[in-house]
Amino acid sequence: MNLGVGSVVKTMSGASCSVSWKSGGSDKVSDQFPAGLRVLVVDDDPTCLMILEKMLRNCHYEVTKSNRAEHALSMLRENRNGFDIVISDVHMPDMDGFKLLEHVGLEMDLPVIMMSADDSKDVVMKGVTHGACDYLIKPVRIEALKNIWQHVIRKKKHELKDKDFDQSTSVEDGDQQQKPPEDVDYSSSANEGSWKSSKRRKEEDETEERDDLSTSKKPRVVWSVELHQQFVQAVNQLGIDKAVPKKILELMNVPGLTRENVASHLQKYRLYLRRLSGVSQHQNGLNNSFMGHPEATYGTMTSFNGLELQALAATGQLPAQSLATLQAAALGRSATKSAISMPLVDQRNLFSFENPKLRFSEGQQQLNNSNKQINLLHGIPTTMEPKQLADLHQSSQSFVAMNMQGNARMQQNNALLMHMSQQQQQSSRAQMLNETNNGQVSRPPLSMSQPAAVLSRNSIVDNVRGPIYNPVSQTSSMVDFSLNQTTELQNNSFPLVSSNSGMSTLTSKRLLLEEVNSDIKGSRGFPPGYDIFEELQQQKTPDWGLPNIGSNFGASDHSSIPGTLDVSPSMLVQQGISSMKKNGLNGNSPIGGPQLNLFSGGNLLPVKAEQLPDTSYQNTFFPEQFGQDDLMSALLKQQESVGQVETEFGFDGYSPLDNLPV
């Protein structure tokens, strides 16, 4: 897909490349499709490799084979857009197939199919949780290979959807939305079709205001240079922390531009900045960030972080300096962003991460700061209370198990880190990966991730704490994202937060997640198997911003519908966190939160109405500055209009929300 906007900030994937065939970055696939599909096959068994190659060639695919995972990975890195899909064996001598899967997911965001002679359930499950889009049992038959193109399409579609989603959220479709998403993710072209149509339907039903979103494939706004410059100016004027889509939209004053457009662009921009700031920010920011905003949540977070930090330090993975930094960060405010970045950066540098070198040091402190924050978030998607964080980690570990040995957390962080760093640079990534590939869990990268994770936590805490600034939008957006990501993770650990503090953590967590998600969006790699989430995230931002429910969103009016839904989602998210699974729940469903966005903006709507209370609820926690401006603002708006507030999750009157597992 050619995302004008995307290309600006997406450095990770060749934006369009990932979804287009050789035809080059266009949404449509070549006429020959699926012929010409570029497949990379990795298997250490020469017999299988040869057979697969022949089979794939018989399917008219373009095949590249490799019997070494490392080699395959470097090929992928050198030529990011040179492949459409990767098929990899699970058991390989030089690198575990799941590890490769993670790398590919994080760095290149390509669909990966795992295969093995092992058909035991837990291995297959591992594949799923690591994000494999399919799992083939050997001996592989050619029939199975004939259909692998569906995974590429699906992924593309998801990406598209995310973007489109912003614009279309319809209330009605909520129910329908939920189902399809799951199906879609779980592979079946049939589902996709139905889903798409239902989605489309929703969009159509939806609101009027949307200028041009009547189908799932909304016309995309092309972010020309001037437009982007206007955008950047507006953002700078507002300050990256305060830059909410609505305000940006106002400042830009471009006719025809919707809040959603701005919201999604903003998200990408933030990701981009984050990447940039990876290196530069660290240096200056640290101190600022530690300005302390000690808040309740903070306290908990701090302690938690402290624990973690110490644990990390204990394991020797966290350099003392980082530890100190982290702790400081924990105590500090969101400004921490920079602070956090530092540890991250340092760490990175330790491990020869090159990319952190901000290539672009835009010199926008603010941006950097925010970026940093984001970075942190990526590392660890948990802003919840310490306990939750722990849980989150736990769950994330289980889900994202790099090599799970004891340092699952670290690994996860590592993965996250890698994810983050990846965004920054290829080379650094390579290094990181190489390092990690060495199979040492305790490698520095891990520690890096830890700090990052911790930092993110810290940062999150910050956010959570303060009074809500742009509360609504941020929270919601975060929620969405985070939920998506962590849904799995959190299912266990985050029971609906009933207390405000809980919420705030949730919020922060969400924010983190959002951040993470945003990153992931770019790279799509991160949450293994959480394709859904990714999408949600993407959608989320825009959605969040637009609570339609009737609140006045000002600029976001048009897009409102999605917005409204979003609001609920955030609420739902929180609640749904515990129950969220990858089901594309929309607001309506119990899980709802993040899922809503994913699958159907529409669902959100119904929920929205009721969710209003939620929104108010959100007010409680809005992390001050999260990137989810749009969400926040949207939420805020909603809240205003709604005027209700609920106690904790504010779902008080929401029947749909009731479903949310609390």
Partner 1 sequence: MEVGQLQRSFVEYMASLFREGFLDAQFSQLQQLQDDSNPDFVVEVVSLFFEDSERLLNDLTMALDQPNVDFKQVDAHVHQLKGSSSSVGAQRVKNCCAPFRNCCEEQNTETCLRCLQQIKQEYLLVKNKLQTLFELEQQIVAAGGAIPMLQ
Interface with partner 1 (CB under 8 A)? 44-48, 50-51, 54-55, 58, 89, 91, 116-118, 138-142
Handedness of CA 490, 263, 162, 152 (dihedral sign): negative
Query: What are the backbone angles phi and psi of residue 88, rounded to the nearest 5°?
Result: -135, 145
CB nearer to partner 1: give 139 or 363.
139
Q: Which residues contact 397 (CB under 8 A, 6 or more apart)?
A: 404, 408, 409, 411, 412
Measured from the CB atom, is 120 or 253 closer to partner 1? 120
Helix, strand, or coil here: 83?
coil
| CB closer to partner 1 out of 145 and 160 | 145
Residue with Cβ nearer partner 1 (43 or 295): 43
Residue 161 contacts residue 197 (beta carbons within 8 Å): no
| Shortest reach from residue 91's CB to partner 1, in Å | 6
Comparing CB distances to partner 1, the nearer of 59 and 483 is: 59
Closest CA to 507 of 539, 459, 552, 546: 459
CB nearer to partner 1: pick between 89 and 557: 89
Q: How far is the CB of 38 from partner 1 (least distance, A)?
A: 19
Q: How far is the CB of 497 from partner 1 (least distance, A)?
A: 43
- Long-range contacts of residues 3-8, Cβ cutoff 8 Å, at least 24 apart: 3/163, 3/220, 4/220, 4/221, 4/222, 4/223, 4/224, 5/220, 5/221, 5/222, 5/223, 5/228, 5/261, 5/264, 5/265, 5/268, 6/163, 6/268, 8/223, 8/228, 8/265, 8/268, 8/269, 8/272
CB-nearer residue toward partner 1: 29 or 90: 90
Alpha-carbon span 620 to 392, nearest angstrom: 22
CB of 139 to partner 1, least distance (A): 4
**Minimum CB distance to partner 1, residue 74 (Å):** 24
Structure tokens at 305: 């972080």
Least CB distance to partner 1 at residue 20 (A): 28
Task: Tell the smallest beta-carbon distance from residue 96 to partner 1 (Å).
Answer: 12
Specify the residue, 55 or 326, whose C-beta has the smaller distance to partner 1.
Answer: 55
State how far the Cα of 467 lies from the Cα of 369, in Å rounded to an integer.
Answer: 19
**CB closer to partner 1 out of 405 and 655:** 405
- Say if CB 168 and CB 216 are below 8 A apart: yes
Residue 44 CA to residue 67 CA, distance in Å, equals 4
d(CA 580, CA 585): 8
* Residue 471: partners with Cβ closer than 8 Å, 6 or more residues away: 507, 618, 619, 620, 621, 622, 623, 632, 635, 636
Closest CA to 537 of 512, 500, 564: 512
- Which run of H or E residues covers position 18? helix 16-19
Residue 553 · residue 563 · CB < 8 Å: yes
Rounded to a whole number of angstroms, the minimum distance from the CB of residue 494 to partner 1 is 36
Q: Closest separation between CB of residue 66 and partner 1, Å?
A: 16
Q: Which is nearer to partner 1, 66 or 491 (CB)?
A: 66
Query: In the bound complex, what is the minimum distance in angstroms from residue 88's beta carbon to partner 1?
Result: 13
Look up residue 201 and give its two tokens.
């339907």
